[in-house]
């Protein structure tokens, strides 16, 4: 109901709509309309109320507010609960702090992060209002050994979402980046709380550079944004909704039917590294190899220069293309 009221207000942006008209269109009482309007205000929407005239939605400056996202998704579990922040340390850290008490699929999203994190203690640049910073809390009944598969599922969903919304040729740089023209546009950080054979929860964190134009000097050479690539602003909400809508079926395939088939098909088809020479970076070591296959389990099969083959599990590994992808 809240989404329906929001939709009507959005379609009549900057105009007053009477409580009576809203009540009639939604088939509820005026008191119920008032209750939902208050709910929307609490979520951050600016709605003006004027006696006798009704309610008017003021431009929300494209914030990624929960009801707005929910009106653009068709999922059953993912993002049925959304917690929105104007600012937060890290959506992954916050998600972990509340995960025990949340149901699977809860999404944390923020307009900015002041302590955005990458893997192994690295930083993730997260300027206000420009990118997407979101984390999904998941509680699948899987073995902890399978946790990294969630990164592949998220990568497949984000890659498809970017292609669908922008038409840009996004590629997956195994295991956790999405790149365009060899530059990083998205990073995925999957974190897990588990015992030896039981997962308590996983948090899949997704950071996408959307409307950034001024990327920090340290990453300028290797990072890009959708806006830089497309030459125009992109609606962040469209990208968020597409990610959520594309993530759920791939996730369901995995947790309900135990199959990663579609995910791996996408990871192979859109791979930025398969068939290419890469450098594997692990702790202080750098080894040259060729990426030859992504297995059905989501591992990367490589061949070293001496001909030996190896299977690489994501986790502590990064790879770099010899030619910069």
Which residue in 70, 104, 113, 271 binds ligand BTX (CB under 6 A)?
Answer: 113
Q: Does 119 bind ligand BTX (CB under 6 A)?
A: yes
Output the 3-class SS for the chain.
CHHHHHHHHHHCCCCCECHHHHHHHHCCCHHHHHHHHHHHHHCCCEEEEECCCEEEEECCCCCCCHHHHHCCCCCCCCCCCEEEECCECCHHHHHHHHHHHCCCCCEEEECCECCCECHHHCECCCCCCCEEEEEEEECCCCCHHHCCHHHHHHHHHHHHHHHHHHCCCCEEECCCEEEECCEEEEEEEEEEEEECCEEEEEEEEEEEECCCCCCCHHHCCCECCHHHHHCCCCCHHHHHHHHHHHHHHHHHHHHHHCCCHHHHHHHHHCECCCCCEEEEEECCEEEEEEEEEECCCCCEEEEECCCCEEEECCCCEEEEECCCC
Nearer to ligand BTX, 89 or 293 (CB): 89
As measured in angstroms, the least distance from the Cβ of 97 to ligand BTX is 12
Nearer to ligand BTX, 149 or 184 (CB): 184
Q: Does 175 bind ligand BTX (CB under 6 A)?
A: no
Q: Does 79 bind ligand BTX (CB under 6 A)?
A: no
236: annotated binding-site residue? no
Q: Does 118 bind ligand BTX (CB under 6 A)?
A: yes
Q: Does 207 bind ligand BTX (CB under 6 A)?
A: yes
Q: Does 187 bind ligand BTX (CB under 6 A)?
A: yes
Which residue in 104, 106, 152, 176 binds ligand BTX (CB under 6 A)?
Answer: 176
Which residue in 70, 75, 104, 135 binds ligand BTX (CB under 6 A)?
Answer: 135
Task: Enumerate binding residues for ligand BTX (CB under 6 A).
Answer: 90-92, 113, 116-119, 122-125, 133-135, 176, 184, 187-189, 205-207, 209, 219, 223
């Amino acid at each position: 109901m809240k989404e329906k009221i929001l939709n009507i207000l959005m379609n009549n942006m900057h105009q007053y709509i009477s409580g009576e008209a809203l009540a009639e269109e939604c088939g509820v009482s005026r008191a119920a309309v008032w209750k939902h309007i208050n709910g929307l205000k609490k979520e951050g929407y600016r709605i003006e109320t004027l006696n006798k005239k009704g309610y008017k939605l003021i431009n929300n400056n494209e914030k990624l507010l929960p009801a707005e996202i929910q009106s653009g998704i068709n999922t059953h579990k993912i993002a049925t609960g959304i917690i929105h922040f104007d600012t937060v340390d890290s959506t992954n850290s916050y998600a972990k702090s509340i995960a025990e008490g949340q149901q699977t699929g809860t999404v944390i999203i923020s307009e900015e992060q002041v302590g955005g994190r990458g893997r192994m203690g690295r930083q993730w640049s997260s300027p206000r209002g420009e990118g997407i910073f979101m984390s999904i809390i998941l509680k699948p009944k899987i073995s902890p050994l399978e946790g990294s598969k969630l990164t592949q599922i998220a990568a497949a969903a984000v890659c498809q979402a970017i292609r669908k919304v922008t038409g840009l040729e996004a590629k997956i740089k195994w295991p956790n980046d999405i790149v365009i023209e060899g530059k990083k546009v998205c990073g995925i950080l999957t974190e897990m709380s588990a015992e030896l054979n039981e997962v308590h929860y996983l948090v899949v964190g997704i950071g996408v550079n959307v409307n950034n134009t001024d990327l920090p000097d340290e990453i300028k050479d290797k990072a890009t944004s959708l806006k830089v690539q497309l030459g125009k602003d992109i609606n962040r909400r469209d990208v968020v909704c597409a990610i959520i809508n594309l993530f759920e079926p791939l996730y369901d395939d995995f947790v309900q039917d135990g199959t990663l088939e579609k995910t791996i098909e996408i990871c192979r088809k859109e791979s930025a590294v398969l068939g290419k020479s890469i450098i594997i970076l692990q702790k202080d070591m750098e080894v040259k190899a060729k990426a030859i296959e992504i297995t059905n389990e989501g591992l990367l099969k490589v061949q070293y220069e001496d001909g030996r083959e190896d299977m690489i599990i994501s986790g502590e590994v990064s790879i770099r293309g010899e030619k910069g992808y």
